[in-house]
Amino acid sequence: MEKNQLVELTIKDQSQDGRGIASCDGLIVFAEGCVVGDRVSARLTKIKKRYALARVEEFLESSEYRLDDVCPYIDECGGCSFGKLKYEKQLELKERHVRDVLERIGGIESPELEPIISMSEPYFYRNKARLAIYPKTRSVGFLGRMSHKVIDCHECRLQSEPVVAVADALRDSFDECEDAKKIKNLVVKTSFTSGEVMVVPTVEEKDVDLESFIYTVDDRINAIPGFDDGFEYYLSSVALDVSDNKPSKQHLNRAEIIAGRHVIEDEMLGLRFEISPYSFYQVNPVQAEHLYEKAVEYAGIKGGETVLDLYCGVGTIGLFMARAGAGKVIGIELVKEAVLNANRNAVINGIVNAIYYTGKAEEELPKLREEGKIEKADVVILDPPRKGCDEVLLKAVVDTEADRIVYISCNPATMSRDIKYLVEKGYEYVKGTPVDMFPHTGHVECIALIQRVKS
């Protein structure tokens, strides 16, 4: 095989970023724009020791799994990497991916996996968007596939209606509000139960006048037709995020409320939650309910257990554990705003046996153990970011001698790595369930039950 050679490929799999995967002369070949089942003629553009890249020249046979009705921006936007693939096949690939990493990275032979939890209507499910902006071309949307180009998206099949309304408002404001051009990116949070919308523009300087932009956002959201049951969206909060262009983390709490409330409220499985600008809250509330129901099931709460909720966000999982009968819930979260939300959420839901601490879980858990605030835990909930858990934290978790660990992850690969560590320290993988939290993308959530081996 050599560069510029024309080869015939049959696509057998897809990568997380949506590229088709085929095999040719013993080499893995990645081809852009293909789906599983396509047969194509492609020209090799780059050849490495272990893989090659190819550009499709001609579709010889179209896959039965290919979708015809797709988003008009799908070839440019980096959002829906699986968007050209029928939903049933997406689910099959994601379930296979979870099983593969559990075996290959986790070292688990024939892992028990429950069927992936799918969505009945896998569109318009996101309650949060981060809009990219390029004022020179009046572009408001999302970054392009594997690029920093801003794709000007006037619709999105994953986002809620208020996101499109806010994007339209910003385009309108480029002419009417000079300081609107200073907005670097824009976060929109939406509650699907209260109808509240929070808008968080990021700027480089605090002294900006966004009054006319805010009024335009309000008008655009109010123009969204109401639902038959009387539900309506409305602008509830605007928080200004001031960035000085230096590397920073959201937990530095740079946001200042410049209009409306400090939080928006959402309801899930009968509990109410307040959410601040930087607080983590699952982006797909419909699937989050299924995920949290499965977490309570895996935790096996009988009554009176001590539960550690690590990377707890606004306290969702721990509060569901408390409602199920846990005797005590202790949560740890890095983002101070989220911890304030979590403690407040315990109060507004009448839960008095949950307490939340601010700090890095890998630092705070050993500290709390040294201070005698945590001795032994019965259940540990792990819900880390994509990079997974620090080994120092995993060691501290093992030291609690918890009988059960419920691990929730948006990155099955790092979850599998962490499970391997826990297995080496006296635990066993029991079972897991993939949850399709992000339809039409290559990402998948997974929840696993890990149990201490009785000596």
Residues serving a catalytic function are 410
| Cα distance between residue 271 and residue 316, in whole Å | 9
Contact between 346 and 352 (Cβ < 8 Å): yes
Contact between 77 and 56 (Cβ < 8 Å): no
User: Quick one: 153 exposed, middle or buried, by C-beta within 10 A (0-12, 13-18, 19+)?
Assistant: buried
| Cα distance between residue 149 and residue 380, in whole Å | 42
Contact between 382 and 317 (Cβ < 8 Å): no
Element (H, E) at 258: strand 255-260
DSSP H helix total and E strand total for the chain: 9, 22
DSSP structural state of residue 334:
S
Measured from the Cβ of residue 147, the count of other Cβ atoms closer than 10 Å reads 10
Burial 176-198 (b: 16+ CB within 10 A, else e): ebebbebbebbbbbbbbebbbbb
* Cβ-Cβ contacts under 8 Å for 387 (sequence gap 6 or more): 411, 414
DSSP-based three-state secondary structure for 16: coil
Which of 442, 436, 410, 445 is CA-nearest to residue 83? 442
Which of 218, 172, 175 is CA-nearest to residue 197? 218
Which of 218, 202, 123 is CA-nearest to residue 162? 218
Which of 436, 275, 399, 433 is CA-nearest to residue 345? 275
Q: Residues in the chain, how many?
A: 455
| Cα distance between residue 95 and residue 416, in whole Å | 14
